[in-house]
Structure formats: structure tokens, C-alpha cells
Amino acid sequence: MSKGPQSSYLAALGIDVYRLRDRPPASIPATPAPACAVAEPAPANDDRWPTLEAEVSKCTRCELHRGRTQTVFGVGRRDARLLVIGEAPGAEEDRQGEPFVGRAGILLNAMLRSIGLARGDVYIANILKCRPPGNRDPKPDETAECTPYLERQIELIAPRAALAVGRIAAQHLLQSDEPIGRLRGKLLSFGARRIPLVVTYHPAYLLRSPSAKSKSWQDLCLLRQLLKSGS
């Protein structure tokens, strides 16, 4: 039986960790960590955050503004070492104005917990700040219009690492059309600053496909190692 302090979170993930604990995922793949030019985090009294948040809240750059209850800007530490990036708000997020607060969010919290991180330790944002109707995939023009907001958040946070959850976020950040099965499980980097990136399955997918949780656990172990190596 798993007895470590993380066991309840791993149980929440539905992950059998017996073999992984005895034989943890070997190490970050041989490829050296990408060079990452780290920007200075914004000083606490910086007005760039409120300016950006106000801009996003009034955004009408794409059609999604017509159907939203409110924008979903992002949540968490603005000097976080880890930035979690999802796809777009769902119904619950649109209602509450916060990313990952529905069932997928509960699982995301457990996934973070399993590697020793509280939700409040990280910053969580989405590619899109408004909910697509019926939770359909983002359209290219929506992604294009919204990306500058995420880029400004990334600039301000200057995270050490990012976790992309789900195909949409991963493919967009990496400008790739590779399937998620080929993007996950390795250390990548994205953007002008080559921020180290780990890709894993979206928690909503994991809720539908519990058999993928063991792979997701491997991704989280890789992320944990990456964060440790930078401390």
C-alpha cells in the first residue's frame, strides 16, 4: 500500500504507484534542459497586472465575448515558478470567473498535490479567456486574438516551467500538430524565452479515460524533477 504523504492525492488520481515508487521514472530524458532566459518577475506594486486584467475583462476582440458571463483571466501566484496552461473556460469557470473550478479542476488540484504543489503555489491560465459555446474547440481567430493576453501574463510571471494540460494547449504553445501522445512524456520548451514545458493529458480527458492516468503521473514526475532541478 502506498504510505507516503502524497498517497491520498495519488488515490484521488486513481493511480497505482507501487511500481513507480520502487522504480521511479528514470530521469529527465538525456536531452539537456533548454536554455531559458528568465525575466525578472514584476515588482509587487507594478500596475501592469491590473491594467492587463481590466483590458481582458472588457475584451471584444472575438465573437466569444457575446456569449460569456465574464472573462476568466487566471488565478494564482503572480510570481509562481510553475504556470499551468489549459484550453478555455467551461461552464463552471464562466460562471465563477476562475479557471479549473469544475470537476476537471478538482482533479487538476489533486495532480498538483501529488507532486507537492498546492493550487495556490502555481499560476493557472487558459489559452482562451472566454468560454467557447458548448465547450467546442477554440477557433484559430479566437486563439490568435487571445494569445497576446497569455503572452503578457507569461512575461509578468516569468515562470521557471510550464505544464500544458491537453492537446489544444500543448499544440498551440508548441505550434505543433503532433498528437498529444507524442508531445507528452518529454521535456520541451516554448515561446521566445524557451520556457521549459511538460505536456500532459487534460484532466477532463483523464476523468473519461482513467487508464491514461499512469502516463499522466509519469509526466508529473518529470515536471517535479524539472522544478527540483531549477531550485
111-134 burial, b at 16+ Cβ within 10 Å, e below that, comes to bbbbbebebeebbbbbbbbbbbee
- Angle value at C-alpha 159, between 158 and 162, nearest 5 degrees: 135
Nearer to ligand URA, 87 or 145 (CB): 87
If 0-12 CB within 10 Å is exposed, 13-18 middle and 19+ buried, where does residue 139 land?
middle
What's the min distance (Å) between Cβ of 89 and ligand URA? 5
If one counts every other C-beta atom within 10 angstroms of the C-beta of residue 89, the result is 30
Nearer to ligand URA, 103 or 182 (CB): 103
Nearer to ligand URA, 126 or 225 (CB): 126
Nearer to ligand URA, 17 or 83 (CB): 83
In angstroms and rounded to an integer, the radius of gyration of the C-alpha atoms of the chain is 17
Q: Which stretches of the chain bind ligand URA, using CB under 6 A?
A: 86-90, 93, 99-100, 104, 126, 166, 204
What's the min distance (Å) between Cβ of 103 and ligand URA? 9
Structural element, H or E, at residue 84:
strand 82-86
What's the min distance (Å) between Cβ of 209 and ligand URA? 15
Q: Which residue number has the CB closest to ligand URA?
A: 86
What's the min distance (Å) between Cβ of 88 and ligand URA? 6
